[in-house]
Amino acid sequence: MTERSVPAASTPLPPGLPHVAYVLLWYPLFTQPFIFREVEGLKARLPLTVYSLYARNLRHCSTEMRAAAPAVRAFGSKAWPRFTLELLRQLLTHPVRLGRLFRRCMVRRWRSLETFGENLWAFSAGVYLGRLCREDGIDMIHAPWPRGTATAAWVAASIAGIPFSTSARGDNLEPADPDLGDKLRAALFVRANNAADQARIEHFDQGQAKNKTYLVYNSLTLPPPPSPDNETLLQRRPVRLLAVGRFDVTKGFDVLLKACAILRERGLDFTLTLAGGGGTAMGLGPLEAALLKLRKDLGLEERVRMPGLVSHNELPRMLQEHDIFVAPCVVHASGRRDGIPNTVIEALAYGLPVVSTTVNALPEVVRDGRTGLTVPPNDPSALADAVIRLAEHPGEARVMGRNGHCLASEMFDHQTNNQRLAELFISQYARWRKSCAA
């Protein structure tokens, strides 16, 4: 794809560009800064409107995210009367079409009531959204996730007579929702954000996304220092380890705690900051409680600090205050796995050497011996060995950190990747228009 100069946000957009709708459950959301960077970058390149199926949730959001929230068309429970009226109107005017849409989207063998409930709400929102898309002059719809948001996009696109597209990532493919194959078949195109997942998407099920899956990497969500000074890395003790992420079964944080017990036994002076959470409004989530118990059982309470969820505003300071970033990702028994955690990308951008596992797409960025060290998943001893190697060879670790900064700055440059994504929307919409005219 050719590169073009990027218009400033205040520059009028040229005529003829497709008006794209982004459909999300929440926007902005503090756990999805990469989506935020993508959306705000696209707004400088395309007419774009964001629709949020749920009410606003600005908890832990950065200052920049909060400033963008008023422009979002958020629904939530207050929209239920509007959804109901539109469902009734469609039932009276297009009963056969509505029945077909309901059967197509909802008559499935759902894995859980939660998944069924999300899709039922998304179906209702999609019926209403179909009307809004016509009123707002939307030309195409994109759902960055292939679950409830793609249900809403699929329904809305069917009603409005426009195309929709979606994205898929590591844990969307295995275990997959029962409608994923049909959504991939119906989508105009599918976006992947790493090469490993692109291959998995194209080979999913019956190959419904074959030859229409496009790779566009995510953008950096933090402005990295132009040339991070990592000359002081590992020059003092304790060695400061950092791990950041939601407390999820794919993260392998229990393996990391076991590796920390090995580090203590082997005499390394270290601390670990394990930032994240998995709790609810009612208190700690089960994984968070299990990690706290494991930390206590291993006698690591003085070595391992668990500050809970941190705002994106705090992440640059945390990255600059630590020596090594650790991403001990695993493949869960269900098949769930991460793609490339965005915190790994940010750590590389800030010049930290990364110790990670070889799960899924991580080796695309954590290149063993060049930007960090990779080890097999579920192996605390190997994880500890890699940390000790970096701690005992600070010069090597600093070179890896500089290499990682260069790789992240080039591979995840927000101007380049947002431009590629905008051109993907433009070219695919033009292809769809041409096929309609044929």
Do residue 321 and residue 401 come from a single domain? yes
CA distance 109 to 188: 25
- Measured in whole angstroms, the distance separating CA 371 from the mean position of its chain's CA atoms is 22
pLDDT at 284: 65
The count of domains in the chain is 2
Do residue 393 and residue 288 come from a single domain? yes
Q: 404, 351 in Cβ contact below 8 A? A: yes
pLDDT at 313: 85
pLDDT band at 282 (very low <50, low <70, confident <90, very high): very low
Residue 332 pLDDT greater than 80, yes or no: yes
Burial class (CB in 10 A: 0-12, 13-18, 19+), 6: middle
Q: 241, 279 in Cβ contact below 8 A? A: no
Task: Dig out the tokens for 69 from the structure.
Answer: 């929230």
Give SS3 for 159. Answer: helix
In 3D space, the residue among 413, 7, 33, 9 whose CA is nearest the CA of residue 226 turns out to be 413
Of the CA atoms within 13 Å of residue 140, those in its CB half-sphere come to: 23
Element (DSSP H or E) covering residue 96: helix 95-106
Q: 324, 199 in Cβ contact below 8 A? A: no
In 3D space, the residue among 47, 53, 62, 63 whose CA is nearest the CA of residue 27 turns out to be 53
The answer to the question of residue 308 being in a domain is yes
Residue 161 pLDDT greater than 90, yes or no: yes
The predicted model gives 216-236 an average pLDDT of 87
The answer to the question of residue 225 being in a domain is no
Give SS3 for 141. Answer: strand
Q: 140, 188 in Cβ contact below 8 A? A: yes
| pTM of the model as a whole | 0.92
Do residue 146 and residue 262 come from a single domain? no
Do residue 384 and residue 429 come from a single domain? no
Do residue 93 and residue 206 come from a single domain? yes
Average pLDDT, rounded, for the chain: 93
Do residue 204 and residue 244 come from a single domain? no
How far from 252 is each of 154, 247, 367, 381, 428, CA to CA, in Å? 34, 9, 19, 14, 38
In 3D space, the residue among 47, 92, 83 whose CA is nearest the CA of residue 155 turns out to be 83
Of the CA atoms within 13 Å of residue 231, those in its CB half-sphere come to: 2
Compute how many other C-beta atoms are within 10 angstroms of the C-beta atom of residue 251.
25
pLDDT at 1: 30
Task: Dig out the tokens for 85 from the structure.
Answer: 């009226």
The answer to the question of residue 226 being in a domain is no
Do residue 324 and residue 252 come from a single domain? yes
Question: Which domain range does residue 156 map to?
Answer: 20-219+414-437
pLDDT at 8: 41
Task: Dig out the tokens for 197 from the structure.
Answer: 């997942």
pLDDT tens column, 178-187: 999 999 999 9
Give SS3 for 23. Answer: strand
The answer to the question of residue 14 being in a domain is no
In 3D space, the residue among 101, 139, 136, 92 whose CA is nearest the CA of residue 120 turns out to be 101
Identity at 169, one-letter amino acid code? R
The answer to the question of residue 430 being in a domain is yes
Q: 52, 78 in Cβ contact below 8 A? A: no
pLDDT band at 280 (very low <50, low <70, confident <90, very high): very low
- Measured in whole angstroms, the distance separating CA 164 from the mean position of its chain's CA atoms is 19
CA distance 209 to 215: 13
**Helices 286-297 + 253-265 axis angle, to 10:** 10
Do residue 419 and residue 399 come from a single domain? no
More confident residue, 44 or 282: 44
pLDDT tens column, 291-318: 999 999 999 999 999 999 888 889 999 9
- What φ, ψ does residue 271 adopt, rounded to 5°? -135, 155
Do residue 418 and residue 322 come from a single domain? no
Task: Dig out the tokens for 360 from the structure.
Answer: 């899924």
The answer to the question of residue 7 being in a domain is no
Residue 2 pLDDT greater than 70, yes or no: no
In 3D space, the residue among 219, 195, 214 whose CA is nearest the CA of residue 409 turns out to be 219
Do residue 70 and residue 214 come from a single domain? yes
The answer to the question of residue 227 being in a domain is no
pLDDT tens column, 113-155: 999 999 999 999 999 999 999 999 999 999 999 999 999 999 9
Do residue 418 and residue 399 come from a single domain? no
How far from 81 is each of 70, 121, 152, 347, CA to CA, in Å? 22, 13, 17, 45
pLDDT at 10: 54
Do residue 355 and residue 246 come from a single domain? yes
In 3D space, the residue among 186, 185, 183, 129 whose CA is nearest the CA of residue 151 turns out to be 183
Cβ neighbors of 361 (< 8 A, separation 6 or more) are 170, 194, 195, 196, 197, 338, 339, 340
Residue 4 pLDDT greater than 60, yes or no: no
The predicted model gives 58-83 an average pLDDT of 94
What is the chain's Cα-based Rg? 23
Residue 28 pLDDT greater than 50, yes or no: yes
The answer to the question of residue 228 being in a domain is no
The predicted model gives 316-325 an average pLDDT of 95
pLDDT tens column, 349-372: 999 999 999 999 999 999 999 999
Residue % of the chain over a pLDDT of 90: 86
CATH number of the domain at 389, please.
3.40.50.2000
